[in-house]
A and B are shown apart, each in its own frame.
Chain A
Amino acid sequence: MLIDIKNVFKIYNEGEEREVRALNGVSLTIDRGEFVAIVGQSGSGKSTLMNLIGCLDIPTYGEYHLDGTDVTDLSDRQLSHVRNKQIGFIFQGFNLIPALSAYENVELPLIYQGIKASVRRERVRDALERVSLWDRRDHKPTEMSGGQQQRVAIARAIATHPPIILADEPTGALDSKTGIHVLEILRRLYKEGTTVILITHDNGIAATVPRVVRISDGQIVSDGQQEVDWL
């Protein structure tokens, strides 16, 4: 099992009157090479779950093993390494660094990995070509459309060849046509063997993903496989 979450809680303002249980006893396992959609309304806790899976946040209670390692025991520095090597993030708001060009944004996680410049260039080129943006490599994020920015973000996520791609509402800020384009890239990654976890509130998108986990009020309410037409 790649991801093994056991009885995880994320509680804000614990013990106070305004206590919020964003996750209320969630258990979930995901195998290598799966394509999973985590579906829920806003406020259901799906983003909190994604942040925990991505090691951007730590659970209040519960266990989380990522590829056999207990993530809740790791130091800040070790968590940075896990994020760097294991996970590629795609955010709803793109989260590119505005001051840097497309090329530099994609290059950044490779720099933090300590990869040689010549290898980096190959990897950046490869990643940007896969999202068809190599010719726009010198553009700043502000000089690109939303769809292009999200494709740069995807290139940044795949440049390190991570085993897991975490996509949080990747089409949320895009029109439907560019949204479909982004989803196609994710499907291709899945077919190549990457584990893809997609967080969405859109049932239409969820209908195209082989495994759907539904979450509501901080708890998993259903978890099932389904046939999809593109496979």
Chain B
Amino acid sequence: MNLKQTIKLAAKSIAARKGRTFLTMLGVIIGLAAVIILVTYAQGTTKQMMDLMKSMGTNQIQVSAYKWTGGSSDDVVFNSLYNYCKQLDDLVVGVTPNQYCWFTVQYGAKNSNNMYSDDGSVQPPQIWMGSDQWAACNNATIAAGRDLTYLDVQSGSQVCVLGSYAAKMFFNYANPIGETMLFDGVPFRVIGVYESRINEETLTEETQYYVQQDNFILLPYTTTRAFQIAGSSNVSTGNSDFIVKAKDAASRIEASARLESFLKSLIGDSSTGNSYGYYNVYSNDNYIDSTEEANRSQQMLLGGIAAISLIVGGIGIMNIMLVTVTERTREIGIRKAIGAERRSIIIQFLIEACMICGIGGILGIAVGYVGTLIVCKQTLGIILLPNAGITIGAFVISVGLGIIFGLYPAIKASGLQPVEALRAD
């Protein structure tokens, strides 16, 4: 009796028991699809959050520092910081003020005060005042036109660079370069547009993160005076928020320590009360690390739930297989009585279990993929495919369970004397 015959026997046996076959397959399909969807969804949310954080730039050191100088000079701290960072050029990529401003922005009929959407998903652009190194510090690269230059900053040129979403808000798809925008009535010429900072794979235009990441306008921080002359009350004198961008994670830790001691010597130690202002050095990366940690444990939790559902699915498969054990025991008795060897009975049942679980497994993967696409599109707004490792792992486990439990009655019953197996009813 050859393998081809055995396969035919198994196929015949499956075809003859459509109801049972379907129920067994259902167990595999649901178990597998649930695992794929759950795990992929968890990975999707994690990746989306991490991409968002990384799009703002890693290895950033946030510095808040202010020194009372009797109101004479605005930029004492930044100038000192800038010069100090030049000495750290093996650790530091750039340094910039990072001042957030509440200007009313106008271009033609468009006014930033009218840019709040009803649901709050769209807001007017954020205005930042920074140096020519602001882009390097904030992960922004120029897409069209040019970036701020050292000269722009030194001379306080009234020029601005737009984030890609801000450009779309004011100019739609028209070319903004060379156009003049008004910030609290003060005119600035648009000199460039930045590339989108969004990873398009995980953050699409439909998610509001998109808006936050590219909806900004950068002005040279040295134009503060122009606003004061124009009578705007939306600028503060003297910058107190800075970003120092380190080369990598190790440099960040080193640079943070050095900046801390530098600022201590510049401003004084607040803990002793012998100080002329305040300072604070911290990094988002600490937050990213701890978020990553939290995400990992969330993923483990979801993975655990998925594993449980897989086990429950496996038990379902086992139950279906065992419910028919009497029927199959008698069948095995008949087959042995008319001359089947133990081996050929086991092989037939093995092939049967492989076919049922294999087909169920493939259908389960299909349902899992479609389910993942629908769930991720509906809840995360992105198109995400399950990773191959999870798919293969879940397939192997659920199909393996089905085969083991499908084979169990055959192994047990085929070892009986035929007369005992025939007695089952």
Q: A56-B417, A57-B417, A111-B9 are in contact. Are A97 and B331 (CB under 8 A)?
A: yes
Cβ 8 A contact of A112, one of B339, B418, B419: B339
The distance from the CB of B336 to the nearest CB of chain A, in whole angstroms, is 6
- Closest partner residue, chain A, to B420 (CB atom): A57
Tell me the chain B residues, 376-425 only, with Cβ under 8 Å from chain A. 417-419, 422
Q: Is the CB of B16 within 8 A of A112?
A: no
Cα of A85 to Cα of B334 in the assembled complex, Å: 15
Residue of A nearest to B15 (CB): A99
A77-B342, A80-B336, A83-B336 known; A114 vs B1 contact (CB < 8 Å):
yes
What 3 pairs across the A-B complex have the smallest Cβ distances?
A84-B339, A99-B16, A56-B419
Asked if A46 is an interface residue, CB under 8 A from chain B, the answer is: no
Q: Can you list 9 A-B contacts (CB < 8 A)?
A: A56-B419, A58-B417, A83-B336, A83-B339, A84-B339, A95-B330, A95-B334, A109-B338, A114-B5
In the complex, the answer to whether B12 meets A104 with C-beta atoms within 8 Å is yes
Contact in complex: A112, B13 (CB < 8 Å): no
* 319-368 of chain B: CB within 8 A of chain A: 330-331, 333-344
B114 interfacial contact with A, CB 8 Å: no
**Chain A nearest CB, measured from B5 CB (Å):** 6
For B338, what are the chain A residues with a Cβ–Cβ distance below 8 Å? 83-84, 89, 108-109, 112, 156
Q: Which residue of chain A is the closest to B336 with respect to CB atoms?
A: A80
The count of chain B contact residues (Cβ–Cβ below 8 Å) is: 26
- In the complex, whether A17 has a CB less than 8 A from a CB of chain B is no
Q: Which of A57, A96, A111 contacts B1 (CB under 8 A)?
A: A111
Asked if A56 and B337 sit within 8 Å, CB to CB, the answer is: yes
Contacts of A175 in B (CB 8 A): none
Contacts of B339 in A (CB 8 A): 80-81, 83-85, 109, 112-113, 160
Contact B418 A56 (CB under 8 A): yes
Judged by a CB distance under 8 angstroms, whether A76 is at the interface is yes
Chain B residues at the A interface, C-beta cutoff of 8 Å: 1-2, 5, 9, 12-13, 16-17, 330-331, 333-344, 417-419, 422
Q: How many cross-chain pairs have Cβ atoms below 8 Å apart between A and B?
A: 73
Residues in chain A near residue B330, CB distance under 8 A: 95
**A interface residues (Cβ-Cβ under 8 A, vs B):** 51, 54, 56-58, 76-77, 80-81, 83-85, 89, 91, 95-97, 99-100, 104, 108-109, 111-114, 156, 160
**In this complex, what residue of A is CB-closest to B327?**
A98
- Chain A residues positioned under 8 Å from B1 (CB to CB): 111-114
| 7 further A-B pairs in the complex, CB-CB below 8 A; given A76-B342, A77-B341, A112-B341 | A76-B341, A77-B343, A91-B422, A95-B422, A100-B12, A100-B16, A114-B1
Q: How far apart sit A31 and B333, CA to CA, in the bound complex (Å)? A: 28
Residues of B within 8 A of A80 (CB): 336, 339-342
